[in-house]
Structure 1
């Protein structure tokens, strides 16, 4: 079995930017106020959040400008509380911006943000770890892939709200998102007890079809591909909604309609609570 590598996402950021501007420019005034899967946020709010992510990264990682005192501690709950407060304050202020102004700012900032990512040494330690994958320290390569999942799924929230989901579900853009999300699986299964050698198959259907295998080793769970042995359980998930399950926007009763679980519940149930955002 080959371990699943963190995908190379750097070349995809300009493509995502183009797709974002494309969908935003197609919207009418009512579309901007449509509710999204992000609780309490409209299309306008999610677009503001995307702008904030780029501006904040440029300010901190390029310019060394860290405003405020930061979270109360490095504990996961404190970091989430801090980020939620930052996001809320930005969106509330940004609602004063018109769609035209917001589009102009996104168009201006996108290339600068991509340039910043190219400047980062992929093998060097990232300023912020990928906490949802259980890492206390991460490389910039993983940080960049994490940023890709942020940009991808927030744009898809906009697209879902206005009925334009298909462009981001194409394999070239969706599979790197899924492969990055999958990095959270071993950490997510850390408390699941199983004998060494136990293997769980996770299969995603659709245009970005992919199959992973979670293998229990004496040291913990490992994520791999190209495994040909026996499996103790199988999880099959409809690719059209996988992104929603991984970003906590697919309630369990609805998720059950898109999941086919085979095997002991203790090996399949954890898929319902997989999370690759800070929440």
Structure 2
């Protein structure tokens, strides 16, 4: 469904739309679409075909490796027409779907989701979910650039917010509190929800609180996904949020970051 919405959007764009700048520094709409194509190809090459360089190679850290290879592919993809980019997405997308559909969702992931603060290795379902969030966010960046909102129905957006909320324990990890301390994150809107991080003996985990939360933070769904991807600054997210309780913990919630960085 997300890909169908993306392709429907792209087919409706004029030549001038493909050249509009996005929030991704130095990238226009054409570049973002090329980057999504790179993601498809890299995961097919690595997860389906076992090609190691398609996922991670060399002495780089993962963020520096991805930054370099993403830039290399985007530069190369500028020679491809919008029509060819759409054709390739339409052709390769179902192949990627087929790869995910055969995976044991609880087997170790191909790529750990470091920001989720879960036990490593990450489960495959979290890796697949993380990939979905990237595709959805890039579609939103394109929609913002061309002023065409959409793809925000709960069936498309709610899974994104749920995956991003997995970063809540990591956002709190520098703050030690007594075992059982709970922090609530509430996201309003049709796709929103409520998540709780609970302090255990040595770490925070998502869970069910047994007592009143020490801190509560609420924000709308648009603010949350933009905060999680740094589409808006932390201070802007705080101005658009409401919080109560332990100020240090509440501020930590609004520093939540759900991408590789």
Which bin holds the TM-score, normalised by the shorter protein?
over 0.9
Work out which of the residue numbers 157, 175, 187 in structure 1 matches 2:141.
Answer: 157
Query: CA shift at 1:54, angstroms?
Result: 0.6
Asked if 1:49 is matched to 2:35, the reply is yes
Work out which of the residue numbers 77, 99, 110 in structure 2 matches 1:94.
Answer: 77
Contact 1:234 1:268 (C-alpha < 8 Å) held by counterparts: yes
In structure 1, stretches of 5+ residues that fail to align are 1-14
Query: CA shift at 1:228, angstroms?
Result: 7.5
Asked if 1:143 is matched to 2:116, the reply is no
Per-residue CA deviation, residues 174-202 of structure 1 (Å, 9 max, x unaligned), is 11111111111112211112122221111
Question: Which residue does 2:57 correspond to in 1?
Answer: 70
Per-residue CA deviation, residues 199-239 of structure 1 (Å, 9 max, x unaligned), is 111110111121112222223212135x5841211101121
- Which whole-Å CA distance do the structure 2 matches of 1:190 and 1:126 have between them? 23
Per-residue CA deviation, residues 68-109 of structure 1 (Å, 9 max, x unaligned), is 871415xxxx11011100100000110111111111111111
Please give the secondary structure, in 2, of the residue aligned with 1:21: helix
Q: Deviation above 3 Å: which 4+ runs of structure 1?
A: none
Query: CA shift at 1:157, angstroms?
Result: 1.1
Question: Which residue does 1:265 correspond to in 2?
Answer: 247
Q: Which has the higher contact order (CA 8 A, sep 6+)?
A: 1
In structure 2, stretches of 5+ residues that fail to align are none
- Which whole-Å CA distance do the structure 2 matches of 1:92 and 1:49 have between them? 10
Work out which of the residue numbers 46, 62, 68 in structure 2 matches 1:79.
Answer: 62
Contact 1:72 1:79 (C-alpha < 8 Å) held by counterparts: no
- Which whole-Å CA distance do the structure 1 matches of 2:210 and 2:114 have between them? 31
Contact 1:236 1:259 (C-alpha < 8 Å) held by counterparts: yes
Contact 1:245 1:274 (C-alpha < 8 Å) held by counterparts: yes
Let me know the Cα RMSD of the aligned residues.
Answer: 1.8
Work out which of the residue numbers 91, 114, 118 in structure 2 matches 1:131.
Answer: 114
Asked if 1:32 is matched to 2:44, the reply is no
Contact 2:185 2:216 (C-alpha < 8 Å) held by counterparts: yes
Q: What is the TM-score of this pair, normalised by structure 1?
A: 0.87
Asked if 1:222 is matched to 2:205, the reply is yes
- Which whole-Å CA distance do the structure 2 matches of 1:188 and 1:271 have between them? 6
Q: What is the TM-score of this pair, normalised by structure 2?
A: 0.93
- Which whole-Å CA distance do the structure 2 matches of 1:266 and 1:255 have between them? 16
Contact 2:117 2:166 (C-alpha < 8 Å) held by counterparts: no
Asked if 1:207 is matched to 2:190, the reply is yes
Asked if 1:173 is matched to 2:156, the reply is yes
Question: Which residue does 2:2 correspond to in 1?
Answer: 16
